[in-house]
Structure 1
């Protein structure tokens, strides 16, 4: 079986609030949006934000909430981490952990979107990011 992810869908309480975070914070523009769902074309996959009640109903679950995971957005330099975190905070996010250097190297911090989904904003000197935004493990 092919090793790939097609779509990551996050359940959100307020689609407009979510759009502000991803649009103003990351600077991402949707490729599709309706009153219930917004899709962002990423580098090789789609990120969807869908009203959590509609998502829960679609999955036939009683409820959906953030779990113990984080998504990550890697940047080109350590100096890019804190300014992006500040922009995300200004766009409605919550700073979970200020940017610092972890013992294993690099530089990172954590931000939650308005619905509590955790994002690691990171610079990893051992990874490369090409012009298309594709991340490769190892330099």
Structure 2
């Protein structure tokens, strides 16, 4: 099986609130919007934000009681870009989870939760270059 992820779908409580966070906070553009879901084209995969009740019904499982133990990451091209990205996401509905700091393994990072509690790491990692197209290369 090919090692890849095609779509990450996040269950959200309020689609307009979620849209504001991703469109105005990250500055992303939806590629498809229907009543219960919005898709964003990422570099190599899709991100979907879907009303949690509809996602639970579609997957035939009950909605989770709380956020799962995972985070998504958005890498930036410099240490100086981390804090402004965190600030912008908080401005548009996010909640700061961890202030930007330098982890023991190097780089610089902070965490913000989207309006539905999904954790996002905003990170600069000097060992992971980002191509002009936005592709992150692991440890070159």
- Smaller-chain TM-score range? over 0.9
Structure 1 runs of 4+ aligned residues shifted over 6 Å read none
Unaligned runs of 5+ in 1: none
CA RMSD of aligned residues (A): 0.7
Alpha-carbon separation, structure 1, partners of 2:53 and 2:138: 36
Listed as ranges, the matches of 1:1-139 within 5 Å are 1-64=1-64, 65-139=66-140
Instruction: State the distance in 2 between where 1:131 and 1:32 align.
Output: 24
3-state SS of the aligned residue for 1:125?
Answer: coil
Partner deviation per Cα, 1:58-83 (whole Å, 9 max, x = no partner) = 11112134200000000000000000
Q: Please give the alpha-carbon distance, in whole angstroms, between the structure 1 residues aligned to 2:114 and 2:74.
A: 13
Structure 2 unaligned segments of length 5 or more: list them. Answer: none
Relative to the length of structure 1, the TM-score reads: 0.98
Matched positions, count: 139
> Distance between the aligned counterparts of 1:121 and 1:138, measured in 2?
17
1:35 offset after TM fit, Å? Answer: 1.5
TM-score, scaled relative to structure 2: 0.97
